[in-house]
Structure 1
């Protein structure tokens, strides 16, 4: 089946507390462990351990300043992303696409919907995000979609196992931003 046909059936909705376990499993499958190696977004070479947990995902679902968008194809959870309202800016995070659905256009569709929602719902004029600096392929993917490095960096939270167990000692986050323009 071609990419357009598969992504044409995507539906987007705000996640609910009942979705939390499935969302944790999705995020973990996209970034950590053997299952993540089926896709291209894996962090398995950089980090072991968990990417997120039930408490962290539930906190996003319940935060009035955030949305955790669940993305389904034919009733199956295939992606998600977090949007956080920060005034004229919106933060984009917890982005995951099922390894079996990567490289089909799902990620592009999720990112475009996130940008649309941030503009329409909050009047955001800029989208912000952080990406592990060593993820050159992922940084390039975002840059092809109009995101630019701001020059800011943040340290990786070494010692906090909620974010994983680093396999190297030089991890850091780079900050990216994209102007969204004024909402219509």
Structure 2
């Protein structure tokens, strides 16, 4: 494997991520919302995450900039990153499938919103965040550049750190004791880790 092949395969994984999400974006546009927390803070967090996981890697793949910050290329590391990204894609798809019309890119509650506790949600409360963490780690392994590699961890990490408590508060407000029971028995991100 070469750095160019690793970059191109990482880019294909990014396209696959979008292809998984796109049909759900269209379906959820028909939802009638009872609560929408899309405010300036949420927009800023989404922009930071998108920059780290989308804009910077895309620019690097397309142009090679900033090549001066490239690390010595490691094929095993790139392969590990691509395998991790493949796992992230599988989890991402399973998460969307489990959520169906309950999915939203931001903190929203729709009419007839259901608390999903089956499928991948049996194992963790936030499998989509788990998938994003896997993507961010895959980026650091595959795009071996001191700026672009860790940009996903920084970008998504910022969103996660400043959003997850707010999201869980919204779930508690919406589902009450059912959420509390679910949260008490289900780890947040990693199965079997409390």
Greater RCO (Cα-Cα under 8 Å, separation 6 or more): 2
Structure with max Cα Rg: 2
Between Structure 1 and Structure 2, the one with more strand by share is 1
TM beyond 0.5:
no
TM-score (norm 1): 0.30
TM-score (norm 2): 0.29
